[in-house]
């Protein structure tokens, strides 16, 4: 009997039966699957190169988390409608906190012909290298680099949705001067200290020049090569000795600011006022500075503020908590992407095309005011100059300050989360 059954159930008859059974059971589903497969548009691949390891890995990793969160937000709302609901897919590579690493990583990612947008995010020096690649390949790129050198190269495919450092200085320094005047404390002397990172250096030197033209005397300058500062003792001792009314500070990394703060506390320099070139001084990792932080002010175009959509802020923090670290608020680095992703999402929506040239032309023509896309920009508007830099008419700057353990935007008043508290 057993032998008979084996004969009947040959391999061929078994396969026939299996195919028939599968067709019977799964048949109705096949057209559905096929239809969906046909309807699913190819993803929108975004090449992201950032510092995931090396000295600037915190900056890079925070930027990646912010980008992922915002891409997820658009994807959850059906993707880019004009491209059939295409979803964003980040394609990420590490630049190892080096300039050559940025160019190599971007070159590697952009071999994929489906890359529509590139995002060589943080650090002007890194962005300079990576955007050489995207420009050559004709890929629209978005970077947070503040250095004007980026937009002075005549590139067509590079977009820089933040004001350059010269604009930061032009817009922010007079505001801070006015703040001081309102407290009855006049600035007569300055001390300038910065890393030699291109954008910080430009900011500090231009601020020094600007203040000197207003009759403010420079008592000293100290510049250190980027990434080499291991101890701020000697700089802080010089500052203590000179006792300037204001210190123009251009550090490039949170760790450098930590060194300064430690020495400020150690040398009991409560009356020294620092004006930082960058919003990373609002990074929660400097919280240990305690009351000494209250004498630090910074200019930044990126920080959470009154108009920041709460769902974006929450989503970014949740994303960061899930994959990287538990951040109490979206500071400069974590918040950078909310002036990048919404802009290229809007451009893709309007372009309705996967042609990089069409996308680039659409971005160049954007002029958005008052919508959610522009909500995180200081002026609530975004457009680009022919150079790719944020349009001068829409350039704005925030002043941020620590108050009782939290860092707030204190200027401009329409988006400020707290009032300035300049009591020193």
Residues in contact with another protein by the rule CB under 8 A: 53-58, 60-61, 97, 196, 221-225, 227-231, 233-235, 237-238, 241, 253-255, 258-259, 262-263, 265-268, 285, 288, 324-325
Q: Which are the contacts of 312, defined by CB distance < 8 A and separation ≥ 6? A: 69, 70, 73, 338, 376
Closest approach, Cβ 156 to another protein, in A, equals: 34
DSSP bridge partners of 224 = 195
Closest approach, Cβ 74 to another protein, in A, equals: 26
Closest approach, Cβ 231 to another protein, in A, equals: 7
Chain centroid to CA 285: how far? 17
Closest approach, Cβ 167 to another protein, in A, equals: 27
Phi and psi at 147, nearest 5°, equal -70, 135
Closest approach, Cβ 287 to another protein, in A, equals: 8
Is 334 or 341 the residue whose CB approaches another protein more closely? 334
Is 235 or 376 the residue whose CB approaches another protein more closely? 235
Is 221 or 406 the residue whose CB approaches another protein more closely? 221
Is 241 or 306 the residue whose CB approaches another protein more closely? 241
DSSP bridge partners of 218 = 190
Closest approach, Cβ 227 to another protein, in A, equals: 8
Is 60 or 420 the residue whose CB approaches another protein more closely? 60
Closest approach, Cβ 244 to another protein, in A, equals: 16
Is 146 or 260 the residue whose CB approaches another protein more closely? 260
User: What is the residue whose two structure tokens read 């495919």?
Assistant: 157
Is 210 or 223 the residue whose CB approaches another protein more closely? 223
């Amino acid at each position: 009997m057993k032998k008979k059954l084996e004969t009947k159930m040959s391999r061929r008859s078994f396969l026939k039966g299996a195919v028939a059974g599968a067709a019977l059971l799964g048949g109705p589903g096949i057209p559905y699957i096929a239809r969906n497969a046909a309807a699913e548009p190819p993803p929108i691949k975004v090449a992201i190169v950032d510092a995931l390891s090396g000295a600037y890995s915190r900056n890079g990793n925070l930027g990646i988390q912010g980008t992922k969160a915002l891409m997820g937000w658009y994807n959850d709302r059906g993707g880019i409608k004009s491209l059939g609901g295409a979803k964003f897919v980040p394609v990420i590579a590490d630049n190892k906190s080096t300039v050559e690493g940025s160019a190599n990583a971007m070159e590697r990612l952009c071999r994929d012909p489906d890359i529509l947008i590139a995002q060589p995010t943080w650090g002007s020096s890194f962005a300079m290298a990576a955007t050489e690649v995207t420009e050559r390949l004709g890929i629209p790129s978005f970077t947070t680099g503040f250095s004007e050198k980026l937009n002075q190269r005549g590139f067509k495919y590079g977009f820089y949705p933040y004001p350059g450092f010269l604009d930061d200085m032009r817009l922010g320094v007079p505001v801070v001067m006015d703040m001081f005047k309102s407290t009855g404390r006049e600035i007569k002397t300055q001390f300038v200290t910065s890393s030699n990172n291109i954008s910080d250096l430009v900011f500090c030197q231009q601020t020094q020049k600007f203040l000197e033209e207003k009759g403010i005397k420079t008592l000293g300058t100290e510049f250190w090569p980027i990434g080499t500062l291991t101890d701020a003792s000697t700089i802080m001792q010089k500052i203590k000795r000179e006792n300037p009314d204001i210190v123009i500070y251009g550090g490039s990394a949170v760790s450098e600011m930590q060194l300064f703060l430690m020495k400020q506390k150690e040398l009991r320099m409560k009356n020294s006022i620092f004006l930082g070139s960058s919003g990373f001084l609002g990074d929660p990792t400097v919280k240990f500075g305690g009351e000494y932080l209250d004498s630090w002010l910074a200019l930044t175009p990126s920080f959470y503020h009154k108009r920041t959509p709460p769902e974006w802020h929450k989503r970014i923090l949740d994303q960061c908590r899930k994959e990287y670290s538990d951040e109490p608020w979206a500071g400069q680095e974590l918040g950078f992407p909310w002036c990048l992703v919404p802009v290229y999402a809007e451009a893709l929506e309007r372009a309705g095309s996967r042609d990089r040239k069409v996308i680039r032309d659409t971005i160049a023509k954007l002029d958005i005011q008052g919508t959610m896309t522009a909500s995180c920009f200081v002026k609530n508007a975004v457009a680009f100059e022919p150079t790719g830099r944020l349009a001068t008419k829409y350039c704005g700057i925030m002043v941020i300050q620590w108050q009782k353990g939290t860092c707030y935007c204190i200027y401009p008043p329409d988006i400020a989360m707290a009032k300035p508290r300049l009591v020193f």
